[in-house]
Amino acid sequence: MIARLRQSVPAYLFLLPWLIGLLGLTIGPMLLSLYYSFTDYALLNTPEWTGLHNYTTLFQDSRYLQSLKVTFIYVGVSVPLEMAFALAVAVLLNRGLKGLAVYRALYYVPSLLGGSVAIALLWQQIFGSDHEPHCEYPRRSFCTSAITSSALLKERFSRRAGSTNDR
């Protein structure tokens, strides 16, 4: 029994940071939200206990009831239809049709291009040109702004240093 406990202690120690995060970032806020739902809470005031008043007000609101109705209809209709369509496509693709490799390639290509486009836009933001013909206002890239501001700071500090040395 003691040997088994000694074996499991390192596992629990490795789990401890995750458990602290689970309690602090998930379960704690959920319980706090549940408590606040039973109170009249303003940010700068202390919460005042109202009991089920918030829930009775909520379930008497026609907009809330309408939103619940729309949500349940959407879930009840769209999820089964999407699952049926996905199953039908999977069955068709599993039959070994001609052109299956082309379809799989065409289906996979957008996932390859998405990352490339994002990286290209990131590099454009970092190293982009100052003068773009389609922009009404000239845009400065991150590097241009950083270099310009550091050059201005250097110039400003060198003038200050020169003026203090002149005295």
pLDDT by residue (tens digit) across 28-71?
A: 999 999 999 999 998 888 999 999 999 999 999 999 999 999 99
Asked whether residue 117 is domain-assigned, the answer is no
- In the listed set 69, 95, 121, which residue is the last one of a domain according to the structure? 95
pLDDT the model gives residue 135: 59
Domain count, the chain: 2
> Would the CA dihedral through 60, 63, 69, 72 be positive or negative?
negative
Q: Are residues 28 and 73 in the same domain?
A: no
Please identify, among 95, 120, 143, the residue that sits at the C-terminal boundary of a domain. Answer: 95
Report pLDDT for 74: 95
Asked if residue 154 belongs to a domain, the reply is no
- In a domain, residue 158? The reply is no
Q: Is the pLDDT of residue 161 over 70?
A: no
Model confidence, pTM: 0.49
Q: Same domain for 53 and 65? A: no
What pLDDT, on the 0 to 100 scale, is given for residue 96? 77
DSSP 8-state code for residue 21: H
Token pair in block for residue 142: 């991150």
State the residue range of the domain holding 48. 1-57
Q: Which of 51, 28, 29, 48 shows the shortest CA–CA distance to 40?
A: 48
Residues 31 and 48 in one domain: yes
Same domain, 68 and 42: no
Conformational region of residue 40, where left means phi above 0, alpha means psi within -120 to 50, and beta covers everything else? beta
